[in-house]
Amino acid sequence: MTGRTKIGFIGLGIMGKPMASHLLRGGHTLFLHSRSGVPGELLTQGGQACSSPAEVAQNADLIITMLPDTGDVERVLFGDKGVAEGLSAGRSKGGIVMDMSTISPVETRKFAAEINELGCEYVDAPVSGGDIGARNGTLTIMVGATSSAFVQVKPVLEFMGKTITLIGPTGTGQVCKLANQIIAALTIEAVGEGLLFASKAGADVRKVRQALMGGFAYSRVLEVHGERMIERAFEPGFRVELHRKDLGLALSHARTLGVSLPGTATVQELLNACIAHGGAGWDSSALVRMLEKLANHEIETIEGSHDES
Q: What amino acid positions are annotated as catalytic residues?
A: 177
Half-sphere exposure of 169 (CA within 13 A, CB side): 5
131 binds ligand NAD (CB under 6 A): yes
3-state percent breakdown (helix, strand, coil) of the chain, nearest 5: 50, 15, 35
Interaction of residue 187 with ligand NAD, rule CB under 6 A = no
Please tell me whether residue 122 binds ligand NAD under the rule CB under 6 A.
Answer: no
Nearest partner of 83 among 10, 170, 188, judged by Cα? 10
- For the chain, where are the E strands, in sequence order? 6-10, 29-33, 48-49, 62-65, 96-99, 121-124, 127-128, 139-144, 161-168
Question: Between 15 and 198, whose beta carbon lies closer to ligand NAD?
Answer: 15
Q: Which of 57, 63, 62, 116 is nearest to 90 (CA)?
A: 57
Please tell me whether residue 35 binds ligand NAD under the rule CB under 6 A.
yes
Query: How many residues in the shown chain lie near ligand NAD by CB under 6 A?
Result: 26
Rounded to a whole number of angstroms, the minimum distance from the CB of residue 52 to ligand NAD is 9
Q: Which is nearer to ligand NAD, 35 or 91 (CB)?
A: 35
Q: Does 75 bind ligand NAD (CB under 6 A)?
A: yes
Q: Does 178 bind ligand NAD (CB under 6 A)?
A: no
Distance in Å, CB of 95 to ligand NAD, minimum:
19
102 is a contact residue toward ligand NAD (CB under 6 A): yes
Q: Which residues ranging from 53 to 72 are in contact with ligand NAD (CB under 6 A)? A: 66-68, 72
Residue pair 36/151 in contact by the 8 Å Cβ criterion: no
Interactions with ligand NAD, residue window 226-265 (CB under 6 A) = 237-238, 242
CA distances from 193 to 114, 240, 285 (A): 45, 18, 12
Residue least distant from ligand NAD (Cβ): 13
Q: Is 172 in the site for ligand NAD (CB under 6 A)?
A: no
Residue 174 found at the interface with ligand NAD (CB under 6 A): no
Report, in Å, the least distance between residue 207 CB and ligand NAD. 28
95-113: b (≥16 Cβ within 10 Å) or e = bbbbbbbbbbbebbbebbe
Q: Which is nearer to ligand NAD, 208 or 229 (CB)?
A: 229
CA 220 to chain centre: 16
C-alpha–C-alpha distance, residues 221 and 238, integer Å: 12
Find the shortest distance in angstroms from Cβ 205 to ligand NAD. 24
Residues belonging to the chain: 309
Q: Which stretch binds ligand NAD (CB under 6 A): 11-19, 148-156, 162-170, 183-191?
A: 11-19
